[in-house]
Structure 1
Amino acid sequence: MVHALSAENPAPDAALPMAATIGDNPVRLWGMTSAERLRRQCVRNGVKEVRAWDGQDHGSSQLLLRTDWVFDEVLVRDLMRRPGTILVDARNREPVAAHVSAADAAAAASMLNNSRVVPDELAGRLRVLVPDDLSSSYNHALRKREAPFLLRLTPEALPRIEQRMFAGSYKGVTDIVTKYVWPLPARHVTKACAVAGMTPNMVTGIGAILMLLALWLFWQGHYLPGLAAGWIMTFLDTVDGKLARVTLTSSKWGNIFDHGIDLVHPPFWWWAWAAGLPAAGFDMPGGMALALTVIWVGYVSQRLQEGYFIKVFKIDMHTWRPFDSFFRLITARRNPNLIILTLATLLGRPDIGMVVVLAWIVLCFGVHMAQIVQAHQAARKGPIQSYLSA
């Protein structure tokens, strides 16, 4: 089973190939057929049209992809930029995709449909690459090192494949809750959302409502109900991003919607928490003025520190060294702060929880300043790079 793809705009390294599909695979991935997944992958990388392979080369190079295999998106993207290439699986050297000239299109399509090996006549004049040769294992966007996946799609293998795809959608450097608590339940909820036809923006919208509900409950001193709403919101914040990645439905607006909410709401939560203490029968130790100063200055400063690091050193602060990735697990972001507030509330002292959060914000500011100073010192010897990309 083969897909071939067509496009009008040039790729960075060469003109985009045309494309077509040969056959289909009835196994559905995250609620969609393999053919639909391939179409979305190619459209995301500039292809304008996906059509059935009709045996005609149309005078253009061809990108051919078998629908009985599941491709990491980076493989499709990089193969699109490498004309004259046949992609084979690493274990059996079975051809699974090709980017070939119009003259070789018919032979390549026949190979992919009928052959378990690359014929000598094609191997002699085309590059034959395995996934690791075609694409890098470092994913800058997700801040992790992970080999691109290429998996045979069968009904029996579907659960394992979807688990692998979901794991591949996760950021490698994130907070402790997102990394260690949410993955298992989030995978099942993401699958349910995909099958139900829910879009990532729908999930984000529900999360936005819960974010506002948590804000109001904190302001009223109703901390346990507020924490419940807040934690569900943070869970859905994981689901919407994973749903977008596994279903290939991310969009510019969705990215702004999701990340805009993530960027804005945390200091308002802490402000509401401090303001709600009198209603719950507590005082804010040190006074509200001090609390608000630490909340706002601390939050804005941390964001500025991270932005400064990226601008000056061209890498994310949290991916420079193993320590930096570890500290991202617990730094004074939303989820680690929620852990502190949850434990304090369960112990009956939400006021002490707020004090601990404020202290943690100040301490983390100091750690990030030390990271910046150390990076400047290291950069004197040459550009610094992430340990994940080494």
Structure 2
Amino acid sequence: MLPEGTSGQERWPVAVLVDATRPGCARRLFGMALVERVLRALLEAGLEGVRVWLHEAGDASAVLPDDLWERLDLVPEPGEAPLAKRVTAAASRAEALLVLEGDAVIDPRLIRHLAASRGARALSADAPEPGCGSASAVLRLEGAPGEAPPSATLAELADEWVGSGSLAAGSLGAVPSHIQKLRRDLPAYVFRVTDDAERDGSERFLFRSNYKGSTDFLTKHVYPPLVWRMLQPLARRRIHPNWVSGFNVLITFAAIPLFAAGAWVAGLTLAYTMSVLDSVDGKLARLTYRSSKLGHVLDHGLDVVHPPLWYLAWAVGLGGGLWLDAVWWMTGAYVADRLVTEAFTRMTSGRSIHAWAPVDVRMRTFISRRNINLPLFTAGLLVGLPGPALLVVVAWQVATLAFHALRLAQVARDLRNPRGAA
């Protein structure tokens, strides 16, 4: 993004000032310094290459990885002057300036919203949950906002300028709350992390916030404690989520010959390990801003491909015959079900069939998916009835297809005739 020359001074169309003058900017959250998280939130918001003035009192920039210097136009500057003076000076160098705190947790949706909007405003907010942070603010300036007394925090400065009428008061409610990837609504957030207790609370908040709004019973109610304990050391050691996804691919396919040979204990051990890790890699990617196209392919591609291969291996392990014939029919129902859910997403411009209405959210907890069929088959093995259990799995897949086909038809009818929708 190139500056425009104005009276011999560089004047940037959009720029960012990050106040990293407090020692807390180096506090680590999920293995990453808070100031680094703020800068990665800028990238997540789509501000690649933007000019960023990083005001520091010590060596805040020393903790930043090389890739941030390559992807952002970072300019460290001394931060000894009062905050209001520094903000006012930076505002004169940009058509629009976003001002962020370097020890804050900032929702990328909020940054994206302010960068795309027009008009100067200040947006202040308290922590979304007790114990996870302190009040913070984000400013969007279009020129110097006027005089202000020395203020210790951006939230105090925002209150001063809003109170004097220099800035309009923004609202978190103006930021779209729906997160398509997570099939849920979550209000945007911004808050400072001022001590280790708030750091722990903010990690818990972010962890919970990154769960999908509609998912299966195991993922929602059983796995979270396991995922939390696995996620922490991986994040602190900065293990890339793609390594977790790659390992998951290996154990997923390693389970197939074990199932086919009837080695149920070994196969199920790998299967349940894979099932837990399938929650770990996505959380790790989102919480450390390391999502990638390869990770998406590994994670979601595996989710689609492997279930019918496991079911076929179960049938082979049981001796084939009737069981194998049933699973071939189930595979057809599985493919048809995936086509129906994809058709629904296309018909509704990106909305998931699992999040359209409360009934769909509730049904997603129990519909035929790996994490429902796996315990059903395991229970059958434990009671000595694996064959009948496999037939239950087949029947449940057919029932799931019928339910999704019905929902597709109902929603298609409602979209054609909105007045008749319930």
Does the TM-score normalized on the shorter chain lie above 0.5?
Answer: yes
| Farther off after superposition, 194-203 or 149-158 | 149-158
Alignment correspondent of 1:3: none
Q: CA deviation at 1:359?
A: 1.1
Deviations 1:125-162 (A, max 9, x none): 4221242x342333222111222233330212111111
TM-score if structure 1 supplies the norm length? Answer: 0.85
Q: 2:396 and 2:220 mapped to 1: Cα distance?
A: 20
Rate the CA distance shift 1:224–1:273 in 2: closer, same or farther, 3 A.
same
1:304 aligns to 2:339 (yes or no): yes
Deviations 1:350-371 (A, max 9, x none): 2222111111111111111221
Alignment correspondent of 2:6: none
**Paired residue secondary structure (2:418):** coil
Q: 1:340 and 1:109 mapped to 2: Cα distance?
A: 64
Rate the CA distance shift 1:71–1:374 in 2: closer, same or farther, 3 A.
same
- Count how many residue pairs are aligned between Structure 1 and Structure 2: 369
- Which of 327, 334, 343 pairs up with 1:291? 327
Rate the CA distance shift 1:344–1:249 in 2: closer, same or farther, 3 A.
same
**Paired residue secondary structure (2:137):** strand
Alignment correspondent of 1:173: 214
- Which of 21, 28, 40 pairs up with 1:23? 21
Rate the CA distance shift 1:94–1:371 in 2: closer, same or farther, 3 A.
closer
Q: CA deviation at 1:299?
A: 1.2
Aligned identity (percent) is 29
**Paired residue secondary structure (1:288):** helix
Alignment correspondent of 2:110: 75
Alignment correspondent of 1:216: 257
**Paired residue secondary structure (1:148):** coil
Alignment correspondent of 2:404: 368
Rate the CA distance shift 1:148–1:109 in 2: closer, same or farther, 3 A.
farther
Alignment-mate amino acid for residue 354 of structure 1:
L
Alignment correspondent of 1:356: 392
Q: 1:249 and 1:108 mapped to 2: Cα distance?
A: 40
Q: 1:382 and 1:248 mapped to 2: Cα distance?
A: 39
Mapped contact 1:204–1:240 kept (Cα < 8 A): yes
| Farther off after superposition, 14-23 or 142-151 | 14-23
1:334 aligns to 2:367 (yes or no): no
- Which of 45, 51, 54 pairs up with 1:52? 54
Rate the CA distance shift 1:157–1:277 in 2: closer, same or farther, 3 A.
same
Rate the CA distance shift 1:146–1:253 in 2: closer, same or farther, 3 A.
same
Alignment-mate amino acid for residue 72 of structure 1:
D
Rate the CA distance shift 1:254–1:94 in 2: closer, same or farther, 3 A.
closer
Alignment of 1:1-390 (within 5 A): 16-24=14-22, 25-47=25-47, 48-49=49-50, 50-53=52-55, 54=77, 55=86, 56-57=89-90, 58-83=93-118, 84-90=120-126, 96-104=137-145, 112=153, 115=156, 118-120=159-161, 123-131=164-172, 133-153=173-193, 154-278=195-319, 284=321, 286-292=322-328, 294-314=329-349, 315-382=351-418
Deviations 1:25-52 (A, max 9, x none): 2321101111000111101223225442
| Farther off after superposition, 174-183 or 310-319 | 310-319
Q: 1:94 and 1:247 mapped to 2: Cα distance?
A: 23
Q: 2:397 and 2:247 mapped to 1: Cα distance?
A: 28
Alignment-mate amino acid for residue 76 of structure 1:
I
Rate the CA distance shift 1:106–1:297 in 2: closer, same or farther, 3 A.
farther
| Farther off after superposition, 99-108 or 148-157 | 99-108
Q: CA deviation at 1:59?
A: 3.8
- Give the RMSD, CA atoms, in angstroms: 2.9
Q: 2:102 and 2:185 mapped to 1: Cα distance?
A: 26
Q: 1:247 and 1:350 mapped to 2: Cα distance?
A: 41
Alignment correspondent of 2:73: none
Q: 1:383 and 1:112 mapped to 2: Cα distance?
A: 51
Rate the CA distance shift 1:267–1:68 in 2: closer, same or farther, 3 A.
same
Rate the CA distance shift 1:138–1:46 in 2: closer, same or farther, 3 A.
closer
Q: 1:109 and 1:29 mapped to 2: Cα distance?
A: 29
Mapped contact 1:94–1:117 kept (Cα < 8 A): no
Which sections of structure 2, spanning at least 5 residues, go unmatched?
4-11, 56-76, 78-85, 128-133
**Paired residue secondary structure (2:196):** coil
Alignment-mate amino acid for residue 298 of structure 1:
A
Q: CA deviation at 1:265?
A: 0.8
Q: 2:100 and 2:353 mapped to 1: Cα distance?
A: 38
Mapped contact 2:106–2:191 kept (Cα < 8 A): yes
Alignment-mate amino acid for residue 142 of structure 1:
L
Q: 1:382 and 1:95 mapped to 2: Cα distance?
A: 42
Q: 1:358 and 1:109 mapped to 2: Cα distance?
A: 69
**Paired residue secondary structure (2:297):** helix
Mapped contact 2:104–2:136 kept (Cα < 8 A): no
**Paired residue secondary structure (2:197):** coil
Mapped contact 1:332–1:360 kept (Cα < 8 A): yes
Q: 2:103 and 2:16 mapped to 1: Cα distance?
A: 20
